[in-house]
Chains A and B, each alone.
Chain A
Amino acid sequence: MNWTALLTLIKRENLRTIKIINQVIWPPIISSLLYIFIFGFSLGKNFEVGEVSYLAFLVPGLIMMNIIMSSFDESSSSLFLGKFINYIQELLIAPMSYLELVLGFLFGSILRAFVIANLILLVFVFFIDVGVQHIGLYLYFTFFVSLFFASIGLIVALWAEKFDHLAILNTFFITPLLFFGGVFHSIKLLPEFFQKISLINPLFYMIDGFRFSMLGTSDGDVFTSMFVVLALALVAFFYTLYLFRSGYKLKQ
């Protein structure tokens, strides 16, 4: 393993995040606060979901939504821009293995997701009674969900021919699945048919498992959520590695 190269690439990804901090760090924090103010403090201030207040219920969903969005955005935009301006060639001709390249991009995204998740949590704990009940699970879900979406981001960036293509997954898949996956609601509030439909949404397990790590309560079984998230992350990671190794849309 060329550790210096790997760390250089991770450092480069973090430097990129810092250089575009107004695009990628502050907006998720501000939008999360707006969701809390609008949905939490106004509409849901007297509303409870199970044993927790709606405000506290909302927090894990919002954090997970931003973990998903930020890890996907970071890896997809970084790799696609690299392809677009040919900067990627600098990495492809360097003595780095495909594993190092993929890990470099992924860890850059995972780190961004961690920073955003914890900054949002830090802001929320000031005025909402919420914390982390199971730190191990909190780290587990943050890591594997961001690994999954960072891998998906790389796959989409490899496939994409223009910037517009990057938005397809976000607009038509991630956002609808997030909203139906329980960011703002408990699936127990849904009619039975839609509860069953929700169970085929992979994002439900991500949000639900993460909610358990913070609140100690969830709609589904946390072990099922752990398994689904781990399986998805590993499949996406190895598929990404396969695409890089085959040179898909990277090499002539």
Chain B
Amino acid sequence: MNKPLDSVLVEVIGSALATIVEEMGGTLVRAAYSTNIKERRDCTASLFDAKGQGIAQDEGGSPLHLGSLMGIVDGILSRYPLEEIKEGDTFIGNDPFSGGGSHLPDIVLATPIFIGGELTAWAANLAHHADFGDRGHAHIFQEGLRIPPVRLIRQGVLQQEMLNLILLNCQVPHERQADLRAQQAANRLAVQRYKDLCERYGREVMVQAADELLDYTERRTRAAIAAMPDGDYSFRDKFDCPELDDELELQVRITVDGDTIAFDFAGNPPQVRASVNVVWTALYASVYYSLKSLIDADIVPNAGLYRPVRIEAPTGSIINCQEPAAVNGRSETCQRIVDLIHGALATAVPERVTAASNGANTGVHFSGRNSRTGREFVYLETIGGGCGARATKDGLDGVQVHMTNTSNLPVESLEAEYPLVIEAYELIQDSGGGGRHRGGLGIRRAVRVEDPDIHFWLDTSRQKSQPWGLDGGQPGESARAVLSEGARPIDHGYTVLQAGDCVAIETAGAGGYGSPELRPTGEVARDLAEGKISEDYARTVYPQQFAQLSPQK
């Protein structure tokens, strides 16, 4: 056992590792071709140690990607003997059941970093390739090409045949190829930067510093858990998605015991013949995100966070699904896992939790032939919504919440690339739940199509229920999709749109926090003046405050 490094040096190296993943993420975004990466930043970069423990993750990415990245190094190590993994190799993978990702569009590239001939770390990045459009979601074989961890580059040589196989299975191969180049560039850069650090500090010190960074995160996590009151906490919630006719009931039981915490998902429904199943890596990512955001937002996101946490979920259930479950829409369910955890811990840490957020990662998928280019296109956008009210503040209006944090696609970029027109992109009046602190407003995004036979798929949630409030706060509005007259109705999330049809997606608002009676009149007045609530809403939800305001009207 080496003598511990001084903590300042560990801090310095931790900061250098954080710089590397940040730079990887920047490179990927700037060099990529597809709108989902270059503008929406649906990608995440990270570094792992030789054993596959995460040591740094780019905070410009999305928490759910952690799940997609978590299994990759394990997946490689379990498939290939160590001595066969060589310098200059880069692995590609996307299959949730063989350690590649948490749904098929998330393609991961992982590159081993060798120092002095010894495998020392891994650079890995994930990009959500908006492809595999207009497929089915009854089981994973319908959802796109499954790629187990295989070499895309073998000792510096691109495996063109492998790439050809992958590209042939994609609707927009030119974009895929360019995006994969950008992903390679990100890893190449990380390898170089990591080597530079080893040159400066020495391999031994780098490895030891990474170990100590994990210990450090573990210490902080344990300290924060210990500060929570011990006890058992549980919560249940309704879950819906367009593909399913019925609502499901999701639940969690959480036990805080000293400096450890356990999440028990017993009793959740079996996996379904729809896209909303969650593989264990995505479940873990959801739990880790919830924990970190509830206990200490500044904890360095690495694998040390996992050590005081136990997670149990029944095999074959919707939140720990097995092959051949479809998983493309798993983020809907993951968002609700976060809501469940907030609901459960509301009595333990009322000042940290939020009321229910919009409860979805509303995805709109358009695909078809673009008459301007004569080529196939796939456009994916996920639309934010209300963020739950907090104990001392209103919820944020119209943002990406919890497991995702992608950017929107600028209209001026979208319309130039796709045969689509955005007619409105705005907040929805009255969609936030009333309360001492108001829930965030949902978003309305209206899209008109300009070409015939455009396939549309909507994955969302909270169409059948409302995001709940806390401590007397009211629920937010549900989500819905509104079609222009004459358009073919949406059936289980799907439809085919014709030129001139318009679909307006309205995402859910969020729950309020605290009784509406306690909201100061001035804040009601401001919401009214800004049109965030209507007079009718104010009269119903805040009758006393409204009465005070009325004489002045």
Q: Do A and B bind each other?
A: no
List chain B positions with a Cβ less than 8 A from chain A. Answer: none
